[in-house]
Structure 1
Amino acid sequence: MSVTQQYLLDTYRAQRLGEAPPPPPGTHDWQTACELRGYWQFRAVVAERPAHGRLRRALGRWLHPRARSAC
């Protein structure tokens, strides 16, 4: 069953039972993405890692390696 079919079935059931219809698919996608980002930032802070710029810093190290001293 596709998402659209499930939504139509849930809407039909809600209408028959006199309840509020469910939100359409994709309504809360942005909110969910923002909450996930906040969760992962929180986890980074708790684990004592930088919460911002980790990907850019890693790519910078890969693209612009520094000369390492032989110690």
Structure 2
Amino acid sequence: MSITQQHLLDTYRAGRLGEVAPPLPGTHDWQVVREWRDHRRFRAVVAGRPAHGRIRQALRRLLHARPRSTW
């Protein structure tokens, strides 16, 4: 069953029972993404790591690492 079919079935059931229809699929997607990002930042702060810019810092360390002398 596709998302559209499930939504239509849920809307039909809500109408028959006199309840509020469910939101359209994808309505709250960006809110979920923002909450997930905020949760990741919170976990980083609690763990003692920087909350943002971690990827750039790691790439900067890799790209600008000084070559080790071999002698």
Shorter chain as denominator, the TM-score bin is 0.7 to 0.9
Among all aligned residue pairs of Structure 1 and Structure 2, give the percentage whose two residues are the same amino acid: 69
Offset from partner CA, 1:8-49 (integer Å, 9 cap, x none) = 110010011111100001000000000000000000001101
Runs of 4 or more off by more than 4 Å in structure 1?
A: none
Q: Does 1:56 align with 2:56?
A: yes
Give, in whole Å, the separation in 2 of the partners of 1:58 and 1:44: 15
Return the letter of the residue paired with 2:63: L
Q: 1:64: how far off?
A: 2.2
Q: 1:69: how far off?
A: 7.2
Give, in whole Å, the separation in 2 of the partners of 1:68 and 1:47: 31
Give, in whole Å, the separation in 1 of the partners of 2:44 and 2:68: 28
Q: 1:68: how far off?
A: 4.7
What residue in structure 2 maps to residue 10 of structure 1? 10
Taking structure 2 as the reference length, the TM-score comes to 0.87
Give, in whole Å, the separation in 2 of the partners of 1:3 and 1:61: 44
Q: Secondary structure at the match of 1:16?
A: helix
Return the letter of the residue paired with 2:40: W
Q: Secondary structure at the match of 1:23?
A: coil
RMSD between superposed Cα atoms in Å: 1.7
